[in-house]
Amino acid sequence: MRESRLQSKIISYLKANGIYYVNTYGSGMTAKGVPDLLICLNGKFIAFECKVDNNGMQPDQKIHEIRITRSNGKHYCPRTLSEAVSIIEKERGRDIG
C-alpha cells in the first residue's frame, strides 16, 4: 500500500468521526518535513507521519517530531489504518486495544 492510500483511509476515519484534521500532503507551500496529518482531538495536538512497509522518517521529519513533542504535542508514525484508529481511540480516552 502506498502512503497516500493509508492517509486517505485515515482521513475517511477522521471524517466519519467528526475529528478535525489538516492534510498537508502534496502542498507545495508546506515546509519540508511537516507531518502528513495534523489533528486536533479533545484539545490535543496530534501529528501523524504516515509510513508503510519499512519506510522510515527522513531527517527533516524527525526534526518536526522533536519540535512537536517538545511543545507537548503528540507525534505518531502509523503504518496501518488499525494502528491509526487505535492511537486515535486511545487519545480519545476510548482504548480499543
Cβ-contact 12, 59 below 8 angstroms: no
User: How far, in Å, are 21, 50, 57, 64, 92 from residue 12 at the CA level?
Assistant: 11, 14, 23, 25, 17
Give the CA radius of gyration of the chain.
13
Q: Is the pLDDT reported for residue 69 higher than 90?
A: yes
pLDDT tens, 1-12?
688 899 999 999
Q: For the whole model, what pTM was predicted?
A: 0.89
